[in-house]
């Protein structure tokens, strides 16, 4: 199902025209109503009149997380504070929080794009939707909540935590859609098994998972464990929150709501635009928001864009799975390693559970690299030889992808700490000294 066919299935030509009009309007808005933006544009010798075509966007300076911190808390608002009806803050995975103000209109845009997501997952007004993202300053909870209400679903605002109760309510109230981080979904999957309720007594069909990187392997795990369809939902506080993009039934790329959020891909080092299909840093300009529009915001997320029409009928651009943030990249003995690469390998090994930790340290000036992973209950054995063989196999498979070999530690099922929000899978002890 498609929530807003006009916008989601528009011809590429019409979409470009619409984006052009909206971009120009936003540039005018921030130039006249937000002093830091006006100053920055003047420093770059660019005025709203210079933005005539979509291609002119490259004349605009970038905005970064640093700008949001420098002008904390209200410096980048383009409306008087009296127009702001809600504040959210980024969860601070990387540094001090960043606050974003929403006007009533902005909240309307947010629930509109959220409605597109849930509709694409096959959810509707007859469904109970359990929102197990955290509520509060984090955009996950209230973002998914607004989306579920907008499609007329029955919202179950459980927030994260209290896992046993989550399962009880999921069972008793007939939850059809579950919205949470993929790592919390894994936790809930175990709790569902432990509950003793037969799976047939649950109505659960769909997961809306995001807020952290996850791999195809993790999707397979979640779909098997929970017996659902697991869909990606993407978003970030600075742009609006969850709902910037979503998968469709084809599960072949995340459609971006580009009539509201205009994407670009640039080289993360140089900031130069990259052609479609090439992996680079995702950059967004919000082209309909009033409260705190951001132009050319550097997300630090690494992905690529595909403008081919999708088999679902949508024409909106699709992004590939986020490899990770530029900041997530570990440099171990000079080699670049993304945690998602480790996850992809581990999820492909049937003897393992998708719970893992990456531990990096420096001993005698040499980086150490350790991967700790849980072994499946079925395979976990006291048989030394068998476990040694498995360890060797994992280390080799990781080496063939990463080029460096980690020390692998196999641990008992359920021994690695579970996450109720965004998982913390990397311990980089080099940063602690
Ligand atoms: P913080 O930056 O503090 O984590 P947010 O809660 O706004 O604050 O998180 C947004 C970030 O979460 C994105 O920039 C991206 O790195 C990550 N993220 C969100 N959704 C997804 C997703 N579906 N896949 C991969 N990463 C995601
Ligand atoms: Zn599609």
Q: Identify the bridge partners of residue 358 per DSSP, sorted by sequence position.
A: 371, 426
- Percent of the chain, pLDDT > 70? 98
From 406, 380, 381, select the one nearest 393 (Cα to Cα): 406
pLDDT at 26 over 90: yes
pTM for the predicted model, two decimal places: 0.96
pLDDT at 97 over 90: no
Range of the structural domain that residue 284 is part of: 1-328
Which residues have a Cβ under 8 Å from the Cβ of 412 and sit 6 or more positions away?
374, 375, 380
Does residue 337 sit in the same domain as residue 312?
no
Tell me if 267 is assigned to some domain: yes
Q: Which of 307, 328, 349 is the last residue of a domain?
A: 328
Name which residue sits closest to atom 8 of ligand 1, judged by CA: 90
pLDDT at 230: 98
Number of domains in the chain: 2
pLDDT at 381: 83
Name the residue of 235, 284, 326, 341 to mutate for ligand 1: max ligand atoms within 8 A of Cβ. Answer: 235
- Percent of the chain, pLDDT > 90? 95
Tell me if 53 is assigned to some domain: yes
Can you give the CATH number for the domain in which 19 is found?
3.40.50.12780
Residues with CB under 5 A from ligand 2 (ion): 248, 250, 310, 312, 314
pLDDT at 152 over 80: yes
Name which residue sits closest to atom 12 of ligand 1, judged by CA: 211
pLDDT at 168 over 90: yes
pLDDT at 94 over 90: no
| Residue 246 near residue 254 (C-beta atoms within 8 A) | yes
Q: What is the pLDDT of residues 208-266, one digit of tens each?
A: 999 999 999 999 999 999 999 999 999 999 999 999 999 999 999 999 999 999 999 99
User: Which ligand 1 atom sits nearest the alpha carbon of residue 90?
Assistant: 8
Among the bound ligands, name the one nearest to the CA of residue 9: 2
CA 170 to centroid of ligand 1, rounded, Å: 26
Mean pLDDT within 24-48: 98
The binding-site residues of ligand 1, defined as CB within 6 angstroms of any ligand atom, are: 90-94, 138-139, 210-213, 232-237, 299, 301, 322, 325
| Residue 162 near residue 184 (C-beta atoms within 8 A) | no
Name which residue sits closest to atom 25 of ligand 1, judged by CA: 213
Tell me if 433 is assigned to some domain: no
Mean pLDDT within 156-183: 98
Does residue 392 sit in the same domain as residue 375?
yes
pLDDT at 91: 64
Does residue 308 sit in the same domain as residue 357?
no
Does residue 95 sit in the same domain as residue 190?
yes
Q: What is the pLDDT of residues 337-383, one digit of tens each?
A: 999 999 999 999 999 999 999 999 999 999 999 999 999 999 888 78
CA 2 to centroid of ligand 2, rounded, Å: 10
CA 402 to centroid of ligand 1, rounded, Å: 24
Does residue 35 sit in the same domain as residue 132?
yes
Tell me if 181 is assigned to some domain: yes
Among the bound ligands, name the one nearest to the CA of residue 65: 1
Q: What is the mean pLDDT of the chain?
A: 96
Does residue 362 sit in the same domain as residue 284?
no
Does residue 157 sit in the same domain as residue 299?
yes
Does residue 382 sit in the same domain as residue 349?
yes
Rounded Cα distance between 278 and 267, Å, is 9
Mean pLDDT within 314-339: 96
User: Which ligand 1 atom sits nearest the alpha carbon of residue 300?
Assistant: 14
DSSP string spanning 221-272? HHHHHHTSEEEEEEEETTTTEEEEEE--TT-SSEEE-TTTEEEEEE-TTT--
Rounded Cα distance between 34 and 220, Å, is 46
Q: Encoding tokens for residue 77?
A: 């608002």
Q: Which of 293, 312, 328 is the last residue of a domain?
A: 328
pLDDT at 22 over 70: yes
CA 284 to centroid of ligand 1, rounded, Å: 14
CA 213 to centroid of ligand 1, rounded, Å: 7
CA 366 to centroid of ligand 1, rounded, Å: 31
pLDDT at 202: 98
Coil/strand/helix, residue 13: helix
pLDDT at 96: 72
Q: Which of 291, 313, 328 is the last residue of a domain?
A: 328
Rounded Cα distance between 281 and 298, Å, is 7
CA 200 to centroid of ligand 1, rounded, Å: 33
Can you give the CATH number for the domain in which 386 is found?
3.30.300.30
DSSP string spanning 79-146? S-GGGEEEEEE---TTSS--EEEEEHHHHHHHHHHHHHHHHHTT--TT-EEEE-SPPSSSHHHHHHHH
Name the residue of 231, 236, 302 to mutate for ligand 1: max ligand atoms within 8 A of Cβ. Answer: 236
pLDDT at 95 over 80: no
Does residue 307 sit in the same domain as residue 380?
no
Does residue 27 sit in the same domain as residue 41?
yes
pLDDT at 166 over 70: yes
Tell me if 221 is assigned to some domain: yes
Mean pLDDT within 377-405: 94
Among the bound ligands, name the one nearest to the CA of residue 421: 1
Name the residue of 322, 326, 327, 425 to mutate for ligand 1: max ligand atoms within 8 A of Cβ. Answer: 322
Tell me if 23 is assigned to some domain: yes
Pairing of strands 229-236, 206-210: parallel
Does residue 247 sit in the same domain as residue 236?
yes
Does residue 309 sit in the same domain as residue 417?
no
CA 290 to centroid of ligand 2, rounded, Å: 29
Q: What is the pLDDT of residues 100-142, one digit of tens each?
A: 999 999 999 999 999 999 999 999 999 999 999 999 999 999 9
pLDDT at 276: 97
User: Which ligand 1 atom sits nearest the alpha carbon of residue 97?
Assistant: 3
């Amino acid at each position: 199902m498609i929530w807003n066919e006009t916008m989601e299935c528009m011809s590429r030509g019409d979409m470009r025209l619409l984006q052009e009009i909206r971009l120009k309007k936003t540039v005018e808005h921030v130039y006249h109503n937000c002093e830091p933006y006006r100053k920055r544009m003047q420093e770059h010798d660019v005025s709203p009149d210079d933005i005539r075509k979509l291609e002119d966007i490259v004349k605009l300076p970038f905005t970064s997380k640093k700008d949001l911190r420098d002008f904390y808390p209200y410096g980048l608002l383009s409306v008087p504070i009296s127009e702001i009806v809600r504040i959210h803050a980024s969860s601070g995975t990387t540094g001090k929080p960043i606050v974003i103000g929403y006007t009533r209109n902005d909240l309307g845009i947010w629930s509109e794009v959220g409605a597109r997501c849930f509709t694409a997952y096959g959810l509707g007004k007859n469904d109970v939707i359990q929102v197990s993202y955290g509520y509060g300053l984090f955009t996950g909870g209230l973002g998914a909540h607004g989306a579920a209400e907008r499609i007329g679903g029955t919202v179950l605002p459980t927030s994260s935590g209290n896992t046993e109760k989550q399962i009880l309510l999921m069972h008793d109230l007939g939850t059809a859609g579950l919205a949470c981080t993929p790592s919390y979904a894994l936790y809930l999957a175990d709790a569902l098994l432990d509950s003793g309720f037969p799976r047939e007594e649950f109505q659960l069909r769909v997961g809306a998972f995001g807020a952290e990187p996850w791999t195809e392997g993790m999707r397979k795990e979640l779909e098997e464990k929970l017996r659902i369809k697991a869909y990606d939902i993407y978003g970030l506080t600075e742009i609006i929150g969850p709902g910037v993009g979503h998968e469709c039934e084809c599960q072949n790329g995340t459609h971006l709501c580009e009539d509201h959020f205009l994407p670009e891909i640039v080289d993360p080092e140089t900031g130069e635009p990259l052609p479609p299909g090439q992996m680079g840093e995702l950059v967004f300009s919000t082209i309909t928001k009033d409260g705190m529009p951001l132009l050319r915001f550097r997300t630090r997320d690494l992905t690529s864009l595909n403008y081919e029409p999708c088999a679902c009928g949508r024409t909106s651009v699709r992004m590939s799975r986020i490899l990770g943030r530029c900041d997530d990249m570990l440099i171990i003995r000079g080699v670049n390693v993304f945690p998602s690469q480790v996850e992809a390998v581990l999820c492909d090994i049937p003897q393992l559970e998708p719970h893992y930790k990456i531990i990096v340290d420096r001993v005698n000036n040499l980086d150490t690299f350790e991967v700790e992973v849980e072994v499946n209950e079925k395979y976990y054995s006291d048989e030394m030889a068998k476990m040694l063989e498995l360890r060797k196999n994992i280390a080799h498979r990781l080496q063939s992808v990463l080029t460096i070999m980690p020390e692998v530690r196999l641990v008992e099922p359920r021994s690695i700490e579970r996450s109720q929000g965004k998982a913390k899978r990397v311990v980089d002890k080099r940063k602690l000294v």
